[in-house]
Structure 1
């Protein structure tokens, strides 16, 4: 039996813990930086972005689980404030879900097979790295998985997973 831990799956499994806060924290989880859009020179008004993901918090390959949890805490708090108690039982078009769309974290773009031409090779590197660190992993349809879910309880699992993810998906060969 295999436990799939693709990028989204891992986040969903672990996103409910952690403290409050949110935003793009630096690598050490300290401090946050806010971005402010300013109008273009010449007094023109800023046009709204056609990109529906513009302004959403972006998870990075090297984001710690605490960083990811903080981002998800902000989104989940917004859902709750807007009357959405269980996001998985609510239509994505529900008003509360729409109101919070801008706070829903985005997975690292490198983990999207549609945007990463080296995704399959990167998955194999990820699995090899995890296995080298004693976390028995396999390639599964759509990504990688653990041979046994108990591996997530291994000492330093989160650090190993983050390090292998950076090594596999962040380095150009």
Structure 2
């Protein structure tokens, strides 16, 4: 049985919904507060869910391409976040550890007082050696593939 475009779009949107529910479960049931970059990864999923709901009525290829774009954006943020966590590159100064070399006592105190509660370069949870950001990247790339399959499927 061949899945229709709408079914593929709903499947991809449901995948984003599952990832969002998982993120909120980790946050509210598991007590793992998200960092700033974790929150950035949520926005494209919310957009993908909305696209999936719109697809119930209008299941056209343009919507599927927008869903794929949303999935690629969150995967990109997840990949960037993974690099920050692994120390491959520096993250935003607003949520990553910064060098304290050369800071005066007042500057160090200011940096401590303005530091976010949850840092982006700390891995709060990992499974099979991969952080939540890494899993978001992998699963979002799979969702992007489903969105692309939907876009290429005849109406």
- Structure number with higher relative contact order (C-alpha < 8 Å, ≥ 6 residues apart): 2
TM tier, shorter chain? Answer: under 0.3
Q: TM-score, normalised by structure 2?
A: 0.25
Q: TM-score, normalised by structure 1?
A: 0.23
| Greater per-residue helix proportion | 2
